[in-house]
A and B are shown apart, each in its own frame.
Chain A
Amino acid sequence: MKIFELIKNGIWHRNPVLIIGIGLCPTLAVTTSVSNALWMTVAAMFVLVGSNILVSSIKRIVPPHIRIPIFITIIASFVIIVELLLKAYQPEVDKALGIFIPLIVVNCIILGRAEEFAYKNSILDSLFDGIGMGLGLGFALTLLAFVREILGANKLFGYTFIPGMEPSLMMIMAPGAFFTLAFILWAMNAIKSKQKK
């Protein structure tokens, strides 16, 4: 039952973006379209799961005082693997996401999970924590991108949504991301406080 709990934690109770509030840079930057958000999720999840498993499997031989450089080396390797694979087999995605794929290295969700969870827990738990957190990130990204793509570009998955509607430029720029995020956080907190009662 713990597996289910871990995944639920990642998506809802300890959602990295919406509850813990980390990894906001790519969240705000790539959520201009749903397909970008989904590909970002796939890339980040691959790195997250990979680094979680690896960190957790070598946790006994890593001396505590050099653990951060080791985590970064592992994460960076996974990110470069993702980048090369995307460049070779999904060049369109690589072009659309651009700099934000290499920037996964400094995404605090991944380093945060390595430090907070994988370094202290078993390999299997770390694997499912990675999947859960990845899905949580994906949930937040997709929600944001869905709103922003429709309002900001009048599109969904790259196709015109309502013919003739003038999109609001602000929604595709950074302020639109902040506004949307604020509304989603508000909705999230409203639901949570209701649940508590």
Chain B
Amino acid sequence: MDKQSEFVLRTIEERDIRFVRLWFTDVLGTLKSVAIAPAELEGAFAEGIGFDGSAIEGFARVYESDMIARPDPSTFSILPWRTEGPGVARLFCDILLPDGSPSYADPRHVLKRSLAKAADLGFTFYTHPEVEFYLFKGMPELGASPVPVDHYGYFDNAPHGIGHDFRRQAITLLEAMGISVEFSHHEGGPGQQEIDLRYADALTTADNLMTFRLVVQEVALEQGLFASFMPKPFRDHPGNGLHTHLSLFEGDRNAFFEPGAEYQLSKIARSFIAGLLVHAPEITAITNQWVNSYKRLAGGAEAPAWICWGHNNRSALIRVPMYKPSKGNSTRIEYRAMDSATNPYLAFAVLLAAGMKGIEESYELPPGSEDDVWALTASERRALGMEPLPASLDQAIALTEKSELVAETLGEHVFDFFLRNKRADWEDYRRQVTPWELERYLPSL
């Protein structure tokens, strides 16, 4: 039996927990939940809970629709926002096939496989996400523009600001669930917030991000607001990025750190960055999985659209943050393309795979860029050898379809499902007639 199971069962008794929610994530990154009575949990630890996988996006074909969700006791947490009435707890699950082997359709397993591969080479993968989202005054009517809760900007400290209270409440709940928050502030857009989670191993971070999105939405509802992680809700305001700091550890040692090297970056770090750069185009469909994601990447400012890296360069795809002396273990790199609506399990898995590929094949790191990439002319960018990230979901899918790296990382099943689903999404989008078209063409054509 897994570690901690007994602790979990005891806590459930002591804290009068009446419902246990078993969480898992479908291939698109949507949180799924099934509630069981505490009495069933003991059995669930041992054998899991059977469910019909064919009903879950991307999980199963009909022939293997019998699937099993087995809770991971190390993810036990009591849901703090349901304070009144009997308590509710949650656990993340691993998805298994009836013979007990892990399901290749489970995004959590995809990430675990990727992590295990890196672990074979002695590496642990740590991530530290900065999550951006918008707060609105309630869910807008279909077709109407959403109304942000305020009109403040970056780092504004709004007295009695709704966002301020919101962040305080959300952070309290997150901390109560054992998710440490490093940093939070008002972001650049009206009503836009940023909350940075503390760095942790990638699996924990991914679990935390799933929890985070739910907590934020719960708190918003409680306060009569509406929160959205949509990548780019406004044309003229910044999108919701998920800038993520990445680092590899060998045991207790940060493998990215090498004292005395340029920017204190070890050869491993340089190859890892090179791997991300080489494979960035083909993993973008995973890190930026929605039609709307590409509106953010086209938006300029802090969203990267060209493949390059730079020391403390906020317009580059990969930023190497300023090195703080005596903090060798905090050496890391920041991947800036991802958005808040990604499936963190799959995204972390492909980021790690791309970086590891760079290490395994000893890719050479091209020179970094100090320029504001958006300010360069097209010819300058060409001269510097900067390739663009895919400009649309369509382009991104086409690149991913040919990617052995992504296929291998996601496994054939998820790879196939994901691409088919995205292709369908794109086909649907292509048929849309947008307000922009009506506005521009209807009067004149």
Is the A/B pair a real complex?
no
- B residues near A, CB below 8 A? none
